[in-house]
A and B are shown apart, each in its own frame.
Chain A
Amino acid sequence: MPEPKADVFARRSALVEALARLVPEGVVADQDALAAYDCDALTAYRQKPLAVVLPTTADEVSAVLALCHREKVRVVPRGAGTSLSGGALPLSDGILLGLSRMSRIKEIDLENRCAVVEPGVTNLAITKAVEGQGFYYAPDPSSQIACSIGGNVAENSGGIHCLKYGLTTNNLLGVELALMTGERIRIGGKAMEAGGLDLLGLVTGSEGLLGVVTEVTVRLLPKPEVALASLVGFPSIETAGQCVSAIISAGIIPAAMEIMDRFTIDAVESYCAPGYPRDAAAILILEVDGIAGDVSRLLTLVEGIARKVGATSFVTSTDERERQRIWLGRKAAFAASGRIAPDMLCMDGTIPRRELPRVLSRIGEMSKDCGLPVANVFHAGDGNLHPLIMFDVMKEGDLDKAEKLGADILKLCVEAGGVLTGEHGVGIEKRDLMPLMFAEGDLAQQERVKCAFDPDALLNPGKVFPSLSACVEGGAMHVHQGRIPFPNLPRL
């Protein structure tokens, strides 16, 4: 992480006072209380922030940012704290800016198929607010009951229905963004396209490094007439993977295709008993939606393909409650692993679908070699893997082993033509692996984008990019060991 600024520690009490004036009743500074903010859903790294501030309005957000900008204090934005990549890991000399109190739904405009919400509104709350009228918000990360839409924008969150409906970025119409200076800009709105450069696309998935989202306009979709989920059992996880490729090759794009291995099935069954086949080595959960006739024809086609590849069972939900139950199990999979091992690391690489069987069996071998069990539960349709590495943080060396295995798995993904992260974000977790995918020049170009937004590197520094850069006019400059090369020379 960036070297903490000693002068900021010295000014702590004055800063806390100033923040309390800007956001009365919204500052946490008690040392014991700050412990509860020392990480998000990635617990391997922990750091108490200098203080937490919980604004309730966009003006308060602006005021806090302007103060920090003036005082050169770092800021880490945080939504619901459900990031699996440590995107909201605090800095010891930084303010943690929590958006959880901004949780109002401002407007629902069904004629224009959109909703305008504050960043702290949970993903699921949007769907809950409009489902009565036959609409929903499509991206559905597993943590959707808890994660906030502001965090979804920052991380470009995915979910199980990305295959057909896209990630967060494909389902946004506009945001209001507070820059580090406290100035706020509106990008897009209710129109399908925003004018100018596509700042909306750039900001989405920027992991809180470019600005703080203070309002989001999301696109709503009409609920499909019928949505059915099928549970398909396979004798091995590799055959399940083959089935997915075969379905896509046949020109069929189901609403979702998810694979879970035996390990995960057992964990989930003990949590909520969704009725997954107990005899299968892996299951494919497949959802098809649309009008009734289309759905039943597609299911027949898909079942034919699955049987041909070697499916041992194929059961389809008969009503909405059954469908929900099937998905409840899938969505609980990460956390339910807590029933099997005390700690887990959740990886998130994406690979080309054709590589699924090879990569999965290689992961199995790697798991055996290092002695840590790996559960596989993933978005198979997108080739987005989520190997869950089980370990015990209290066992000496286990965490190191788990992290090493995780890095090796991601290396494998990149070698197979894939990427480091499909939906969880780089954060702190995969930061140092970025050079696996990007050359120095590629990263330098990205960092210059950061400089255009935040030249003082105050907003969530230390995430995403492996090296620390200083911004010079018109770009970024790499700083090695905290030293600028030739410090005595004047810069542009």
Chain B
Amino acid sequence: MQVLRPESEAEAAALIAEAAANNRTLSIEGGGSKRHLGRLTTPSAVLKLDALREIVSYEPEELVITVRAGTPLAEVEAALAERNQCFGFEPASWSFEPAAAAATIGGTIAAGAAGSRRVVLGGARDHLIGFRAVNGAGEIFKAGGKVVKNVTGYDLPKLAAGSFGTLFTMTELTLRTYPRAATSLTLAVENLDVDSGCALMRRAVGSRFEATGFCYLPRVAIERLGLRQASSLTLIRFEGDAESTDARAHACGETLAVPFATVQHDDTWRLVQQLKSLQASQVLWRLSVPPTAAVGAIAALRPECFVVDWAGGLLWVEPGSASPRDVHAVARQFGGHATLFRGSDDLRRGDVFQPLDAVTAALTKRLKAAFDPHGVLNPGRMYDGV
């Protein structure tokens, strides 16, 4: 397939305008690490933005960074780490080996790929504060700003995060940064069944100890990671300076009144963000549900393997025999939504994202048309006609 590689924003705009004029469709791509995400599409060409690679400005004291969309995520994170900062939403690679290394900042935000810290510090949507983009007519526009507190005009950055490139192609992003914690200390509780594990995490997230991660791994997941012997792991993470994390982790453990161990810089968190225990899953679903619904949803899906994150708010599920229709029905029944994260081409021709009600679906189509009237950008990636 033809790959278009604009060297500048203006060039990207020209390419999109040309595609619009010629009724061609484009697949928008950064490093190509998330091709497995979304519905299967048949674009006329790929618009690859990895040449738009630059840190435009970085002001650590303002807690703000501006980067071009195709800059590798790893490069941006390294720049932040140099100044003792990081992204609060803990970008997850959401990729499968070996493509993961290619993830760009634009793709990460467009996919809304937030990690375990999202439960406390918010998702990609909460950290994108401004952007420049090209709409489906090839027009360049900007939205948001370069300061965190801003309500001037519609909050299009929110809409950008998680839109999978279906509305416009971001060329430059301004993100908030966060002071990097000196230490991470994990409180680990072993051998809880999923019900008790989730209940424990809910208590912890509702407590005053400001933990920044709450995940649960069942035996299968632990075995796949080759970690210690346990029938399950419930992990609660504390970040900050050593004195603070130590005090909070122990106070939290005592409040929860369960036998626990503490682990300094537990590598499991990285493995969770990288979906390490699910790399082999041929079918993988991601469910966002109310925390109290986690156990019910898992029971209803009877998965081969699963991982619980966000204190029960996020489920990674490798389902047994459940069909997409079943998974979406379960998600709806429990008050959340499900996204097919990995699946066969056949599955990806059906509903990948949670089906919308008629009114919302019509509104979504009108919104698509407001940005991309000719349906040039990633058409059908999220929904048919979007």
Contact = CB atoms under 8 A, between A and B. Distances in A.
A293 B147 contact: no
A426 to B, nearest CB: 6
A423 B149 CA distance: 7
B179 A253 contact: yes
A113 B206 contact: yes
Interface stretch (A35-43, A219-227, A279-287, A305-313): A219-227
Contacts of A192: 118-119, 123, 288, 310, 313-314
Contacts of B293: 191
Interface string B144-155: 011111111111
A452 B248 contact: no
A346 to B, nearest CB: 14
B179 A252 contact: yes
Contacts of B152: 419-421, 426, 430, 434, 437-438
A222 B149 contact: no
Interface stretch (B74-82, B276-284, B362-370): B362-370
A272 interface: no
A167 B366 contact: no
A248 interface: yes
A158 B149 contact: yes
Contacts of A425: 151
B371 A445 contact: yes
B206 A224 contact: no
Contacts of B363: 179, 185, 199, 452-453
Contacts of B147: 350-352, 382-383, 417-419, 422
Most buried by A among B155, B156, B178: B155
Contact of B154 (A354, A384, A419, A449): A449
Contacts of B180: 251
Contact of A354 (B61, B248, B336): B61
Given A185-B359, A190-B290, A294 B369 contact: no
Contact of A445 (B118, B135, B288): B135
Contacts of A439: 141-142
Contacts of A198: 112, 125, 158-159, 161-163
A274 interface: no
Contacts of A352: 59, 62, 64, 146-147
Interface stretch (B1-9, B93-101, B207-215, B262-270): B207-215
Contact of B151 (A155, A183, A354, A448): A155
Interface string A135-166: 10000000000000000000110100010001
A81 to B, nearest CB: 18
A74 interface: no
B313 A350 contact: no
Interface string B203-237: 00111111000000000000000000000000000
B32 interface: no
A162 B337 CA distance: 29
Given A290-B210, A442-B141, A112 B159 contact: no
Contacts of A383: 147, 149
A67 to B, nearest CB: 18
A223 B367 contact: no
Interface string A199-213: 111101110000000
A103 interface: no
B303 interface: no
A248 B179 CA distance: 9
Contacts of B126: 166, 169-170
Given A449-B370, A474-B370, A191 B158 contact: no
Given A191-B337, A293-B244, A352-B146, A423 B151 contact: yes
Contacts of B135: 445
Interface residues of B, number: 86
Contacts of A442: 141-143, 153
Contacts of A451: 366, 370
A422 to B, nearest CB: 4
Contacts of B202: 111
Interface stretch (B186-194, B319-327, B349-357): B349-357
B140 interface: yes
A395 interface: no
A197 interface: yes
A441 B360 contact: no
A474 B368 CA distance: 9
Contacts of B333: none
Given A191-B336, A206-B154, A421-B152, A197 B364 contact: yes
A194 interface: yes
A123 B363 CA distance: 29
A190 B59 CA distance: 36
Given A158-B149, A192-B310, A113 B143 contact: no
Given A166-B126, A352-B62, A112 B291 contact: yes
A273 interface: no
B163 A418 contact: no
Nearest to B163: A197
A475 B244 CA distance: 53
Contacts of A417: 146-147
Contacts of A179: 359, 363
Interface string B111-143: 010000011001101100000000100011111
A475 B382 contact: no
B14 interface: no
A359 interface: no
A204 B151 CA distance: 9
A111 B198 CA distance: 11
B155 A354 contact: no
Contact of B142 (A111, A224, A438): A438
Given A291-B247, A351-B147, A384-B149, A248 B154 contact: no
Nearest to B336: A191
A165 B310 CA distance: 18
A90 B99 CA distance: 55
A352 B65 CA distance: 12
A353 interface: yes
A127 interface: no
Given A198-B162, A291-B247, A419 B139 contact: no
A464 B142 CA distance: 16
A193 interface: yes
B155 A418 contact: no
B331 to A, nearest CB: 8
Contacts of B59: 352, 354
Interface in A423-437: 423-426, 430, 434, 437
Nearest to A445: B141
B56 to A, nearest CB: 13
Nearest to A492: B373
A199 B85 CA distance: 30
A426 B150 CA distance: 10
B42 interface: no
A155 B167 CA distance: 24
The 3 A-B pairs at the shortest CB distance, nearest first, are namely A201-B158, A195-B337, A190-B290
18 contacts: A111-B202, A166-B126, A167-B151, A196-B382, A197-B166, A202-B154, A202-B156, A202-B158, A206-B155, A253-B179, A291-B247, A352-B62, A353-B62, A434-B153, A445-B370, A448-B370, A452-B366, A474-B370
Interface of B: 59-64, 84, 112, 118-119, 122-123, 125-126, 135, 139-143, 145-159, 161-163, 166-167, 178-180, 202, 205-210, 240, 243-244, 247-248, 251, 288-293, 310, 313-314, 335-339, 353-354, 356-357, 359-360, 363-364, 366-367, 369-371, 373, 382-383
Given A179-B359, A248-B62, 9 more contacts: A111-B206, A191-B337, A196-B354, A199-B360, A199-B363, A297-B243, A383-B149, A441-B141, A448-B371
